[in-house]
A and B are shown apart, each in its own frame.
Chain A
């Protein structure tokens, strides 16, 4: 009898395993891409669509786990940073093959680094490895062992390899030979991209089963969010990677199990004044914008809580600075968002000689305080934010003219002609590490938006920003880097070169037919763990 019970237990266990294995294998994941990928070379991908495809096809030596925010071994089974981050030695996994069967060897690492660092290829990831004058060299230092040497210390070195996809130096398919869980099977321009399971993918799950579980991933190419929502409702797509507040609420009303709000995102909306000396901004305005009191007064006159409530339906929180609270390590917890305080705002303005008369603000010279704010048209959230800021500033006597322009015109004004006064914009896909902001905080940086490309720092606080960013870039001591970047955030909070407004929350839609989905706030929010995603027969729409 005992024997029979054991046999029965084994049979039931087998049935459950086979059942769950059957439920967890196969199927085609369907979702949207907003535009055609510009390249299928995962190493050179810079635009959103190309990076999405590259994430699924490209194999990396090290992977930054989007959920735990820790580094995990991938194609490199282990690594060691040497000389404080000037060199790194990788031990590569053995018997790994590309999607066409070509073996993955140390030569491929060498080749990939050469392609990455070639200036002609204009890779967006190369500059973070250019730590000094000189070349990046790669040596094969043993069986399945490679050492990469940089001209100078690269801060957060291992983390940087999360974006470096490995290419094959020998495959006839060239950059289309994939080491990731999927490879490019079909592409119809303007229509869809189809990825199929990589038959040679090296990863297996805990039970020894070949990953990925999915047979294929199909991206339909469409910009229209209404169309995306419609098709999700119909069950024609399984994921929406980023929902705006209005659509989130709408879907939630229909079926709360479809949507997930994961927490505050890394994205940030902010505004800044044009402090560029080369700008054609009129004389008195240049003096206003150059005053720290003025900038801080404007910041305190803006009601961030109202923006979160009205524009984002409470799916956002006031921003403190460039780093989101979701970035647990780098966020400076000692800082809080500038309060909404029109009285304090007026006191700050009075310190600079501004006077409020008959509801209008005047400077020392008797000029009425009036300036324009540009932002890109078509972004409804920003248009509404601009209208709200206009009303908030009117309460302290400032007349703000909101000008919405098409995106190329905005970019042309802020990067080339510098013909603008104030700009409202946003950053998305912000890097976790401060190294991703090396072109923003240094005064000669092209993204030092308020006064880019300075030959020497225009103010003492910008000089301090320069030295702090250099300091954190030249060491891999986490504590020292943290201290330096905390100080950067403190300075930005005090001097207000950027007026940080809100971080919106990460909101996604996930079909109940999808198993093992665990959305996170870092991109790609819903399919960061694509190898483990599986489809079951739909348990109710979608």
Chain B
């Protein structure tokens, strides 16, 4: 397993470095349209081919990683921390706090947040800079994406409330926030880690769908999400398999994050 972890480490370092140095590594700018060669196959000029507007796919993946690789994990972190605070504290405190938090969580899971996003788009000026729109999008995703994990964390915190080590810590004089942050939260790590890693690809994909509402990454800025949207063209992917490159890359990145997580192995 250490070989796999080393590979994951090296791969992530490579991808992050490539995203930082995209301007030097990309064969051409991500926005240039080679209109004589739309949907072109890989070649010396375009190592991963071109998209439907003749834009170099490798360049778009490299520049797209600047958006997706940095912002999606940041949004996932926000969502996870919010879930930890709301769900964890609710389960820890119990009683009315817990009931209120769970009701808020369930409501959050049921509401049509699409319309809030539409309202946010309506409030923003039409000429908002591309990066501002992207930052706002991912911040919103982070703020709205906590509900699913909050419930699981609440259940976890609730069951830890009466555990022996917590009783021992209390008996030793620990209480309140110290008890929560030192004893409860670390034991919720598995769920937190799972939530964080699941959220990254979900937010990348959600950002692409939000492009349909005018939020997210606007033309011509690429993101892995809007590159993945092109897979919706269906059967032509079979004829142009290089268009799967963003998907393959995303899977490898997400899996590498998973492999890097420290884990207490089950000793046999």
Contacts and interface: CB of A to CB of B under 8 A. Distances in A.
A403 B38 CA distance: 23
B122 A421 contact: no
Contacts of B118: 406, 409
Interface stretch (A166-174, A197-205, A371-379): A371-379
Interface string B227-263: 0000001111000000000000000000000000000
A372 B127 CA distance: 6
B54 interface: yes
B214 A403 contact: yes
B219 to A, nearest CB: 4
A402 B127 contact: no
Contacts of A404: 211-212, 214, 218
A277 B220 CA distance: 31
Interface stretch (A68-76, A81-89, A142-150, A385-393): A385-393
Given A246-B233, A405-B121, A409-B121, A388 B212 contact: no
A250 B236 CA distance: 9
A310 B53 contact: yes
Given A384-B52, A388-B53, A403 B218 contact: yes
A375 to B, nearest CB: 10
A390 B53 contact: no
Q: What's the dominant secondary structure at chain B's contact region?
A: loop
A196 to B, nearest CB: 35
Given A401-B126, A406-B118, A409-B118, A387 B214 contact: no
A384 B53 contact: yes
Contacts of B212: 377-378, 404, 406
B53 A377 contact: no
Contacts of B219: 383, 386-387, 390, 402
Given A384-B53, A401-B127, A409-B118, A377 B214 contact: yes
B214 A401 contact: no
Contacts of A358: none
A384 B212 CA distance: 13
B31 A391 contact: yes
A226 interface: yes
A309 interface: yes
A419 B214 CA distance: 14
Given A402-B219, A420-B126, A306 B35 contact: yes
B96 to A, nearest CB: 40
Contacts of B35: 306, 309-310, 388
B33 interface: yes
Nearest to A409: B118
A386 to B, nearest CB: 7
A305 B122 CA distance: 34
A186 interface: no
Contacts of A370: 127
Contacts, number: 68
A402 B126 CA distance: 9
Nearest to A406: B213
B229 to A, nearest CB: 10
Contacts of A406: 118, 212-214
Interface residues of B, number: 24
B152 to A, nearest CB: 32
B217 to A, nearest CB: 11
A270 B206 CA distance: 30
Interface in A22-67: none
Interface in B117-138: 118, 121-122, 126-127, 130
Q: By CB atoms of chain A within 10 A, which of B118, B121, B219, B234 has the most?
A: B219
Nearest to A386: B219
A388 B52 CA distance: 11
A250 B53 CA distance: 18
Contacts of A388: 33, 35, 53
B127 A371 contact: yes
Nearest to A404: B214
A175 B235 CA distance: 44
Interface string A351-385: 00000000000000000001110100110000110
A372 B33 contact: no
A401 B121 contact: no
A281 B53 CA distance: 31
Contacts of B218: 401-404
Contacts of B52: 310, 384
Interface in A282-312: 306, 309-310
Nearest to B124: A403
Contacts of B233: 246
B132 to A, nearest CB: 11
Q: By CB atoms of chain A within 10 A, which of B33, B122, B126 has the most?
A: B126
B155 to A, nearest CB: 37
B236 A310 contact: no
Nearest to A376: B212
Nearest to A374: B126
Top 6 nearest A-B pairs (CB, nearest first) are: A377-B212, A372-B126, A402-B219, A405-B214, A387-B219, A403-B214
Interface of B: 31, 33, 35, 38, 52-54, 118, 121-122, 126-127, 130, 211-214, 218-220, 233-236
Interface of A: 226, 246, 250, 306, 309-310, 370-372, 374, 377-378, 383-384, 386-388, 390-391, 401-406, 409, 419-421
30 contacts: A246-B233, A246-B236, A250-B236, A309-B35, A310-B35, A310-B38, A310-B53, A377-B212, A377-B214, A378-B212, A383-B219, A384-B53, A387-B33, A387-B219, A387-B220, A388-B53, A390-B220, A401-B126, A401-B127, A402-B219, A403-B214, A403-B218, A404-B212, A404-B218, A405-B214, A406-B213, A406-B214, A409-B121, A409-B214, A419-B126
